[in-house]
Structure 1
Amino acid sequence: MTSLSAQTPTSTGHPLAEAIVALAETPDDMPGIDARLQRVAQLAADRIAVVDYAAVAPRPGDGSCIVAASGELIDAVEEVSTAAPPAAMGPGTTMTWPHFRETAAGLGMRVVSVPLFTGGGAAIATLDLYSRDPDAMAALTAGVRAAHDPELPWPGDEGDMRALDAGAEELLTGYAEALSVRATIQLALAMLGRSMPGGPKDAYLRLRLHAAGEGVSLLRAATTVIEADLA
């Protein structure tokens, strides 16, 4: 089985993984979250070979998505869609597209959804990956499950499922690392919350202020809290 821990998601050359991990370390109230989500969508469309479109749907949302395309299907979608985007869309761009999920379903595309979250731990958006290739999407779905549970087989390892392309491996490596970041921050919040009347809410504010005051990330601040508690 491919080891997630052996991967290096935050190293140079893995921008999609880096973007997902960085989002998980970002305070909920940090300016520019929408731009970060837009970048994740564009990187997913550019780097995952089997993905034709990547869309970020905010939670809660109004049915609109931030959509990025790999390039080839833009004209095809505009020809058949009754909910076409309000302006021209070309490779390397993202745009808000109302009811894109319904449009993609009408084209017979499969979708795999990956939650995206910031430092508070709650999912703020969903990264929806669209493709016409059912086998590739089945492998990607299995990879998302394996990111949550390392005991599950990695796609391609047992020979009964297609292996992931390099971009999909990068996505899932980053997602698994982001889950680890979230678990670390949540553990620190639980430790802080034991002695705070406001519980998790006050604990998050305290951790956020500590990180800002020390000029470190939420992850680094959370690690410091855990180390102090265990000591």
Structure 2
Amino acid sequence: MPTAQQPDTPNGSASASLADTLVALAATADDASIIDAHLAQVVRLAVDTLAAVDYASITAWRGQGYTTVAASSDLARAVDQAQYADKAGPCLHALEEAAPVGVSDIAAIMSWPGFYRAAHGLGLHASLSIPLFAGSGKPIAVLNLYGRDTATMAPLIAAVRAVYTGQPPPATDRPGGIDAGAQQLLTGLTQALTVRATIQQATGVLMARDNHSPAEAYRQLRLRAAETGLSLTDTATALLDGVAGPH
């Protein structure tokens, strides 16, 4: 089938921001060849941008199992592999539930023994696994953030949870310690979820109007994007504007 015009290609330049890359990923078709390049750039920028994070990786389901698509170090890859071996851990839970999973104190975790042994043994004290979405709105991967300092990771965990739930964090967890790098992550996630909502609303219009299944509605939206040369986001926005009529 025709492929919709894709957002900017990751180029590793200094101008590429973490927020921009997350938004570009959300607007990219799930099966586009550029997906893995976006994911690799997210890992690189996360480690470069987030002061609380020492290591990062991307978990995805490929073929018959989970795999680490990109990692900032072998240490992050080892913690991921321990979870795959156990078929349990925060990164798998985040992907399955499409919700962020934060572990503010790895030393106290009892739910995932394999994860605990690997992470604690490598000197990690906190982690945050964040589901990432592409054009269809389904989670395609998880960004795993690993840190050695629980005090700096805790505000980040609370703030990311708040972005996904749409609720402010509890008073005791309010992210007062959020720095500019963490704010860039939060901005990117917020904007990516907005892109996701726009595309989902447009597919909902096609489902209701043309009696399409969700998969067919998404396919039709992609065809429209390919025919017009617009991105999925712009195509979805134009469709919604047409339904709303003139203001």
Question: Does residue 84 of structure 2 align to residue 68 of structure 1?
Answer: no
Q: Quick one: which of 148, 153, 169 aligns to 1:132?
A: 148
Query: TM-score by structure 1 length?
Result: 0.75
Going from structure 1 to structure 2, the CA distance change for 1:14 and 1:170 (only over 3 Å counts) comes to: farther
Going from structure 1 to structure 2, the CA distance change for 1:24 and 1:34 (only over 3 Å counts) comes to: same
Deviations 1:85-105 (A, max 9, x none): xxxxxxxxxxxx861664434
1:42 partner letter: R
Q: Secondary structure at the match of 1:121?
A: coil
Going from structure 1 to structure 2, the CA distance change for 1:23 and 1:188 (only over 3 Å counts) comes to: same
Q: Aligned equivalents of 1:160 and 1:143: distance in 2?
A: 7
How much does 1:197 deviate?
4.0
Q: Aligned equivalents of 1:125 and 1:57: distance in 2?
A: 5
Q: Secondary structure at the match of 2:66?
A: coil
1:41 matched residue in structure 2: 43
Going from structure 1 to structure 2, the CA distance change for 1:206 and 1:63 (only over 3 Å counts) comes to: closer
Question: Does residue 183 of structure 2 align to residue 169 of structure 1?
Answer: yes
Provide the alpha-carbon RMSD of the alignment.
2.7
Q: Aligned equivalents of 2:145 and 2:82: distance in 1?
A: 12
How much does 1:54 deviate?
0.7
Q: Aligned equivalents of 2:16 and 2:172: distance in 1?
A: 26
1:199-210 aligned at under 5 Å gives the runs 199-210=213-224
Q: Aligned equivalents of 1:201 and 1:159: distance in 2?
A: 39
Going from structure 1 to structure 2, the CA distance change for 1:162 and 1:106 (only over 3 Å counts) comes to: farther
Q: Aligned equivalents of 1:125 and 1:170: distance in 2?
A: 20
Q: Aligned equivalents of 1:145 and 1:206: distance in 2?
A: 33
Q: Aligned equivalents of 1:143 and 1:98: distance in 2?
A: 23
2:227 matched residue in structure 1: 213
Aligned length: 196
Question: Does residue 122 of structure 2 align to residue 107 of structure 1?
Answer: yes
Query: TM-score by structure 2 length?
Result: 0.71
Percent identity between the two aligned chains? 41
Question: Does residue 139 of structure 2 align to residue 123 of structure 1?
Answer: yes
Q: Aligned equivalents of 1:128 and 1:17: distance in 2?
A: 16
2:9 matched residue in structure 1: none
How much does 1:29 deviate?
2.1
Structure 2 unaligned segments of length 5 or more: list them.
1-13, 84-114
CA contact (8 A) 2:59 2:80 kept: no
Which structure shows the higher helix fraction?
2
Structure 1 unaligned segments of length 5 or more: list them.
1-11, 85-96
CA contact (8 A) 2:162 2:168 kept: yes
Deviations 1:178-198 (A, max 9, x none): 011101110110111113344
